[in-house]
């Protein structure tokens, strides 16, 4: 992964479904649903958000649902 860019967060909003893996050098916020793996510098699964897959992030906050491994 490249040098982390913590300035801009990628957000998957409520009602959004992403099928596939997500890779980000910066922060990722999930309020919708991701079916796939996430590799990010920072991850927040917000209330109502859901991830079905493996998560790799040095900094993670899980307020929603994670079905997989971190």
Q: What string of pLDDT tens digits covers the 70 residues of the chain?
A: 455 555 688 999 999 999 999 999 999 999 999 999 999 999 999 999 999 999 999 999 999 999 987 6
Report pLDDT for 15. Answer: 95
Predicted TM-score (pTM) of the model is 0.87
Report pLDDT for 8. Answer: 82
The pair phi, psi for residue 4, each rounded to 5°, is: -60, 140
Every domain of the chain and the residues it spans: 15-67
């Amino acid at each position: 992964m490249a040098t982390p860019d913590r300035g801009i967060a990628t957000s998957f909003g409520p009602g959004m479904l992403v099928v596939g893996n997500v890779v980000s050098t910066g922060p990722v916020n999930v309020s919708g649903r991701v079916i796939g793996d996430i590799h990010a510098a920072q991850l927040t699964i917000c209330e109502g958000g859901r991830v079905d897959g493996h998560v790799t992030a040095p900094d993670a906050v899980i307020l929603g649902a994670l079905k997989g491994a971190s």
